[in-house]
Amino acid sequence: MLTNQKLFVHLNGGIRLPISFHGASRRFLSLSSSDMKATSQQEDDEASYSEQLSSVAGGIVALGKFDALHIGHRELAIQASTAGTPFLLSFTGMAEVLGWEPRAPVVAKCDRERVLSSWSACCGEVAPRELEIEFSKVRNLTPRQFVEKLSKELGVRGVVAGKNYRFGYRASGDALELSRLCEEYGIEAYVINPVMDKKQDILDREFANAKERGQVSSTRVRYALSKGDMRYVSELLGRHHRLILKLNNDQSSMNNRNMASFPKSCLLNLPPKEGVYENCRIIYGKENFVPCRVVVDIENIHLELVDRDCIDIPYENFLYLNIEFGV
């Protein structure tokens, strides 16, 4: 059951503005070619960010941490799509700012568009788009400032958040405050119940985190991958886990016609624990695929074709190789 409520987000320093110097004296700068390239890249990044801000205006923004793009995140996108054009708003650079250990994403960055496109069938035939904002520019915002940013800078028409959503500096705001602030700033707010994990016994056994209340989460996806339970991973994601390897001719090793090995340094996202995985498939090119068996060890990913009469896969012709588990 959706409840109409209003929300607002404030992003301090979210837009970089040109600075003009006034006065009698003038200063001249000499730029090297590297400086010019850096300046050009900065201008491109700012132009891209401005385009993002322009595109999200009037849209419905789902709020959350969208690392795994699991079925709970999909439900947020579905609810956003029922009210308007759906967007996912997430923050980049949180690990660096908060001092977290670097870790591989659950979904490779280059694979996110494919996953979001697959959601279009349940989002009114519209694939949700992503809006990323630097966490360093919003971490100190109060709940009111955060909502104000959504309203005045982003110009969103509405937001969708889970019942357990926290926001603002030190996560001081909750869903109730979000709703109250949204109403004040003229934004529609939809607060929905989280999608619950069917395996509730894992909550007591494995998770001591107070934030874990039995809902589907990226933490649970990572836990399932760490156990090598690919059926559980698929249940949480609503799809098969796809591992992406960035190929380099110098890194691959063809053991024979039906086997190939790649170092883990090729991986762009999180693999399952070390072990043997049946019922997998290698996807290459435009969704060409062959069944395979995958062995994950400490240093490498080994692929063994199930059909030994299969044609050779031209690994050297592709930049990326995709492996799906539990198909």
Residues 159-206 pLDDT 10s: 999 999 999 998 999 999 999 999 999 999 999 999 999 887 665 566
pLDDT tens per residue, range 43-93: 555 545 555 566 799 999 999 999 999 999 999 999 999 999 999 998 888
Instruction: Clarify whether residues 207 and 263 are in a common domain.
Output: no
Q: What is the DSSP string of 98-135?
A: HTPPP---SS-GGGHHHHHHHTGGGTTT---EEEEEEG
Residue 264 lies in a domain: yes
Domain count across the chain: 3
Tell me what pLDDT residue 95 has.
81
Instruction: Clarify whether residues 295 and 207 are in a common domain.
Output: no
Residues 6+ apart with CB under 8 A from 196: 214, 215, 216
Q: What is the CATH number of the domain that holds 185?
A: 3.40.50.620
pLDDT tens per residue, range 266-301: 999 999 999 999 999 998 777 788 999 999 999 999
What is the pTM assigned to this prediction? 0.80
Distances (CA, A) of 74 to 86, 88, 252, 309: 11, 10, 35, 39
Residue 230 lies in a domain: yes
Residue 254 lies in a domain: yes
Cα separation, 130 vs 128, whole angstroms: 7
Residue 212 scores a pLDDT above 50: yes
Give the structural domain span for 291.
242-324
Instruction: Clarify whether residues 109 and 222 are in a common domain.
Output: no
Do residues 190 and 76 touch, judged by C-beta distance below 8 A? no
Residue 100 lies in a domain: yes
**Helices H / strands E in the chain, number of each:** 9, 13
- To the nearest 10°, report the CA torsion of 78, 83, 85, 89: -70
Instruction: Clarify whether residues 172 and 284 are in a common domain.
Output: no
Tell me what pLDDT residue 312 has.
66
Instruction: Clarify whether residues 69 and 142 are in a common domain.
Output: yes
